[in-house]
Amino acid sequence: MSLRQILLPTLSALMLMPGVALAQTIAPTPAPTQAPASAAVPLPAIANLLPIDTAGVVLLNTQAESWEALSRFGLFPKEMTFPELLYPVALGMNFYTDVQPWLGDQVAIAFLPAKPDQKSANRIVTLASVRDAAQIPKYLERLKTAKKKAAIEHQYKGITILEWQPENLSLLANRLPRAENR
């Protein structure tokens, strides 16, 4: 099953459900001279962590109730669980025991512009809101030991960013349910 076969129905369904997900671009725009009071939509807190030149952001609501409401459209096989499938976990880790206890209500997937001096155009970052920060160090230690390569650490606005080089995506493909030919 290709990524396109998963993402297109997912994003289409997310657009149908108000409050489940929000996709928006974050870029400087000229301020209107006078905007109606109802036109002001506050940006989520995650947006304040991203650079001003961020090309786009997809915000995902990780609350189970929202995903249960989304399942009424019948777009996904029953074996496909969300948001587990959308949030990367290392082999030997479990979303429900290792990630969900500390995960907040939103996960953001941001598309950053490539810098001219970089070879790779892959500038996708994942940000997550945190419900219980005390559990993060334990999770990060398990993640670091589960990865084959060491993380490259960067600092941005006082936040440590861990970067891993991409691994074999066939591992993800093996987790996805197969669609039968019709």
CB 146 within 8 A of CB 99: no
Tell how strand 152-156 and strand 21-24 pair up.
unpaired
Q: What is the C-alpha separation between 103 and 83, in angstroms, rounded? A: 11
Most confident of 59-63, 87-91, 101-105, 146-150: 101-105
CB 102 within 8 A of CB 133: yes
Confidence of residue 47 (pLDDT cuts 50, 70, 90): confident
* 178 pLDDT above the threshold of 70: no
pLDDT value at residue 64: 78
pLDDT value at residue 98: 83
